[in-house]
Amino acid sequence: MDSGCLMSGDRDETGLASMTHDAVNEVRVIAQEPSLNDAARRLASRFGLTFDEAGASGLAYQLVLTSERLELRSNLTRQGPVYVDFTAGTVAHRQRFGGGRKQLIARAVGMKKGESPRILDATAGMARDAFVLACLGSEVTLIERSPVIAALLENGLQRAQKHIELGELVRERLSLIYGDALDVMRHLDGDDQPDVIFLDPMFPEKMKSALVKKEMRVFRDIAGKDIDADKLLPIALEKAVKRVVVKRPLYAGWLNDMKPTMEMKSGKQRFDIYMTHPELPS
Ligand SMILES: C[S@@+](CC[C@H](N)C(=O)[O-])C[C@H]1O[C@@H](n2cnc3c(N)ncnc32)[C@H](O)[C@@H]1O
């Protein structure tokens, strides 16, 4: 997921009116068929969402439990549903990530030969970065505070755990905590402290870009703007054993206005790296 989000009432170049973050309060959980009502009700209760047995129509967003998966549907766009699927394009992933420890994200978190840091991804989103890091060998704990995104993520992880090729990797290396990373990190102590804390909070887009997929717009609507993102860095610096890595768009300033130990750049992306332990940077 790219960082950034649309403002309330903005109209993007697709002509769609964007909703405020309050849109998330209007999300209803529905079941596609009556036999799934109980499961949908339980899911809604676990994430503090509202289950609607009647199958709420007319709302901008619906979290729909089907016999296959949990998906977010929107009547704001004509796009298809949004859901988490780690297993799509497995072969492509393998090709892309096999031996990929030279790629920027791997170097940013300090992956070295025979060394895979334990990572806490405190801003999980769709867990695309986390999945790459797990494929490259790290154990990654994900934290996500948006109930809708956490529900989608949990469902994606559950399905991936059963996948014939990726199941073992997902079971062993990826786990999710639903909650606010500020709270979770504050309680980390001793052996629970990860080597690396990875942060990728939302960042407002410089320009509305036609390249930004509609899926991402829906997602931004749901997750909000992360206006408290600066607070994540000081506590992450206290708790990460080796380093904190902040993913930023190239044009964005430093998180919490704090100068990193070093920066790594590629294309429109930058990783700001804060060493918390005097290891030699790779
Ligand atoms: C830009 S997305 C992350 C994308 C992710 N790196 C990926 O690869 O899919 C930011 C996510 O962080 C979540 N987030 C922001 N602040 C958080 C916090 N304090 N605790 C937990 N999640 C947070 C937002 O809800 C959003 O889903």
Domain count, the chain: 1
**7, part of any domain:** no
DSSP conformation letters of 212-256: S-HHHHHHHHHH---TTGGGHHHHHHHH-SSEEEEEEETTS--GG
3-state helix, strand, coil in the chain (%, to 5): 35, 20, 45
**184, part of any domain:** yes
Confidence class for position 281, pLDDT limits 50, 70, 90 = low
- CATH number, domain with residue 264: 3.40.50.150
Question: Does the Cβ of 147 fall within 6 Å of ligand 1?
Answer: no
**33, part of any domain:** no
pLDDT digits (tens, 9 = 90+) for 26-72: 799 999 999 999 999 999 999 999 999 887 667 788 999 999 999 99
Give the mean model confidence (pLDDT) for residues 258-266. Answer: 96
Question: Does the Cβ of 62 fall within 6 Å of ligand 1?
Answer: no
Confidence class for position 236, pLDDT limits 50, 70, 90 = very high
Ligand 1 center from residue 145 Cα (angstroms): 7
Q: Can you give the length of the chain in residues?
A: 282
Confidence class for position 258, pLDDT limits 50, 70, 90 = very high
**145, part of any domain:** yes
Ligand 1 center from residue 31 Cα (angstroms): 26
Distance CA 60, CA 51 (A): 15
Q: Which atom, in ligand 1's list, is nearest to the CA of 182? A: 19
Question: Does the Cβ of 215 fall within 6 Å of ligand 1?
Answer: no
Question: Which pair of structure tokens corresponds to residue 174?
Answer: 């990826």
Asked whether residue 215 carries a pLDDT value surpassing 60, the answer given is no
Range of the domain at 177: 90-275
**80, part of any domain:** no
- Which is more confident, 9 or 172? 172
**28, part of any domain:** no
Question: Does the Cβ of 144 fall within 6 Å of ligand 1?
Answer: yes
Give the mean model confidence (pLDDT) for residues 92-108. Answer: 73
**260, part of any domain:** yes
**239, part of any domain:** yes
Pocket test for ligand 1, best of 83, 129, 145 (most atoms within 8 A of CB): 145
Confidence class for position 15, pLDDT limits 50, 70, 90 = very low
Q: Which atom, in ligand 1's list, is nearest to the CA of 223? A: 25
pLDDT digits (tens, 9 = 90+) for 238-251: 999 999 999 999 99
Rounded percentage of the chain residues whose pLDDT exceeds 70: 79
Pocket test for ligand 1, best of 105, 123, 132 (most atoms within 8 A of CB): 123
- Which is more confident, 144 or 87? 144
